[in-house]
């Protein structure tokens, strides 16, 4: 059935739209690209030529292949030129009024059999379809940026979508060399419904002073293995786009975590939108600013709590003396319980920091209200000697990495529990749509369901945020002794 799509229209030739046009042209389809005016049309042509030119320079295309791709795309400023298209997909700004107006025009211009698709990342496909006389032929086809590279396409069906159309469009996505995930019409679909709350939560933690921007980015990139830290990714996506997606999510769910963090609103209002404006959370010319390297002055260290990784032995091997708490110049607590509860029982509470080793590169260093600045500096210095990047933070439940990671995993469990998407589709979506090294359920299996459940309970006790409470399914599986949610779906 997907073979019936041979001529395609793409409306909106910004970076995303031009990338979508390139994807279709690479697959051998005839493409008509439409923009609002000649200047925008030339910019769209430039996006296509620039993208294929980079592929040529990297040896991924030959000169002949590049010429064929560009030759399959016709550029125009007239929607009327889409009259014979089998499929038209829009990639205009994420504003509902603009999209509804466009689909009204497309409904008039396009032949009755044509499929009208929206590349919206969060808006209601149902509401867009309702503006046409053919709601059964309207569908979501959400590509990810950069479209020629990213392998995921979310195919979004509505309650009015014609029977079999989602399968046809999924087949077309496979023809394009993409992996489709077919879902229903909920705000954010799979990827943005899981990704944006995590990014928004990072912004809220930054605003609350839990840790610094660069430290949070380093923690999630080096500690979890994500391609980018949350603030680098927010800048890439665009703070205005992220803000609007959060607004759409909040309007649908009324979940407090989906309400855009105030710092997002402030930056967007100021016109600091990320890479597209030249500045957002980061400035492009601004180097990362890790804490200054200082040689630790403490020669005697005490280690509290379980030490399964042999941290004390590592310190001893690096030349530090391991002593009793009373004699220590620095005390580190390897514990998930509030560090300050241990500090108040010590003779020198100002010498204690909490320590959480994440992977083999990151160490979170938690300071309590009693920890002296000198103690925090010394702890960071000795961690660098051990080859780890220190992430200074406040003494809050689950510190940085787990405070961001566990709610994301919990959201994935809730999504599966609701029946919206399968375990396999959710894992696939997050790996292919975000470039994550593992999907949320693969990560849950690695960490252990009980570990994540208990961490969520600690977060809920600390922040009193309802969405941090473990998903009922997660609680039940731990109680039943089930080790993997993935086992339920096999």
* 136 touches 161 (CB < 8 A): yes
Listed residue (357, 205, 377, 224) closest to 290, CA to CA: 377
Residue of 51, 192, 336, 367 marked active site: 192
Structure tokens that stand for 327 in this block:
């004699």
Using DSSP bridges, classify how beta strands 138-143 and 152-156 pair: parallel, antiparallel or unpaired: antiparallel
Distance from C-alpha of 466 to C-alpha of 202, rounded to nearest angstrom: 17
Provide the edge-to-edge strand list for the sheet that holds 138-143.
73-76, 30-34, 7-11, 87-90, 115-118, 138-143, 152-156, 179-183
Report CA-CA distances (Å) from 488 to 113, 141, 388. 41, 29, 38
Chain centroid, CA 367 distance in Å:
28
Residue of 154, 168, 329, 398 marked active site: 154
Listed residue (141, 264, 152, 140) closest to 197, CA to CA: 264
Residue of 22, 35, 142, 200 marked active site: 142
* 133 touches 107 (CB < 8 A): yes
**Helical packing angle, 449-463 and 440-447, nearest 10°:** 100
Is 154 a known active-site residue?
Answer: yes
Structure tokens that stand for 130 in this block:
């309702």
3-state SS of 345-383 is: CCCCHHHEEEEEEECCCEEEEEECCCCCHHHHHHHHHHH
Ramachandran angles phi, psi of 446, nearest 5°: -70, -45
Listed residue (389, 433, 457, 444) closest to 121, CA to CA: 433
Is 364 a known active-site residue?
Answer: no
Is 78 a known active-site residue?
Answer: no
HSE-CB at 341 with a 13 A cutoff on CA atoms is 7
Residue of 51, 119, 121, 467 marked active site: 121
Q: Give catalytic residue positions.
A: 121, 142, 154, 192
């Amino acid at each position: 059935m997907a073979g019936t799509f041979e001529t395609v229209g793409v409306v909106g030739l910004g970076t995303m739209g031009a990338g979508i046009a390139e994807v279709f042209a690479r697959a051998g389809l005839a493409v008509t690209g439409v923009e609002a005016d000649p200047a925008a049309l030339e910019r769209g042509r430039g996006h296509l030529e620039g993208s294929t030119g980079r592929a040529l320079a990297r040896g991924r295309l030959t000169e002949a292949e590049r010429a064929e791709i560009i030759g399959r795309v016709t550029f125009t400023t007239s929607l009327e030129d889409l009259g014979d298209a089998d499929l038209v997909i829009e990639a205009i700004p994420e504003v509902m009024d603009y999209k509804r107006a466009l689909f009204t025009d497309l409904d008039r211009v396009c032949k009755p059999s044509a499929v009208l698709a929206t590349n919206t990342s969060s808006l209601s496909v149902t509401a867009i379809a309702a503006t046409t006389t053919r709601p059964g032929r309207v569908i979501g086809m959400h590509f990810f940026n950069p479209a020629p590279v990213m392998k995921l396409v979310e195919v979004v069906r509505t309650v009015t979508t014609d029977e079999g159309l989602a399968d046809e469009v999924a087949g077309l996505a496979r023809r394009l060399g993409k992996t489709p995930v077919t879902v229903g019409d909920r705000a954010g679909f799979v990827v943005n419904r899981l990704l944006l709350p995590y990014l928004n939560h990072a912004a809220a933690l930054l605003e609350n002073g839990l840790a610094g921007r660069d430290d949070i980015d380093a923690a999630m990139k080096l500690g979890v293995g994500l391609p980018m830290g949350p603030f680098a990714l927010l800048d890439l996506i665009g703070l205005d786009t992220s803000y609007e997606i959060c607004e759409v999510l909040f309007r649908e769910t009324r979940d407090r975590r989906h309400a855009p963090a105030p710092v997002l609103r402030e930056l967007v209002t100021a016109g600091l939108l990320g890479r597209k404006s030249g500045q957002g959370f980061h400035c492009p010319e601004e180097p990362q600013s890790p804490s200054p390297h200082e040689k630790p002055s403490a020669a005697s260290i005490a280690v509290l709590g379980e030490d399964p990784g042999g941290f004390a032995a590592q310190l001893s091997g690096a030349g530090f003396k391991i002593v009793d708490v009373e004699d220590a110049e620095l005390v580190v607590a390897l514990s998930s319980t509030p560090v300050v509860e241990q500090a108040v029982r010590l003779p020198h509470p100002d010498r204690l920091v909490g320590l959480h080793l994440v992977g083999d590169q990151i160490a979170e260093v938690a300071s309590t209200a009693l920890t002296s600045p000198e103690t925090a500096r010394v702890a960071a210095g000795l961690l660098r000697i051990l080859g780890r990047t220190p992430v200074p933070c406040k003494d809050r439940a689950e510190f940085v990495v787990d405070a961001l990671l566990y709610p994301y995993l919990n959201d994935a469990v809730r999504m599966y529990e609701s029946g919206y998407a399968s375990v396999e589709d959710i894992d696939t979506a997050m790996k292919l749509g975000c470039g994550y090294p593992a999907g949320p359920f693969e990560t849950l299996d690695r960490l252990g369901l009980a570990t994540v459940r208990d961490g969520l309970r600690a977060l809920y006790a600390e922040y009193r945020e309802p969405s941090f409470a473990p998903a009922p399914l997660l609680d039940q599986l731990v109680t039943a002794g089930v080790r993997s949610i993935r086992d339920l779906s096999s």
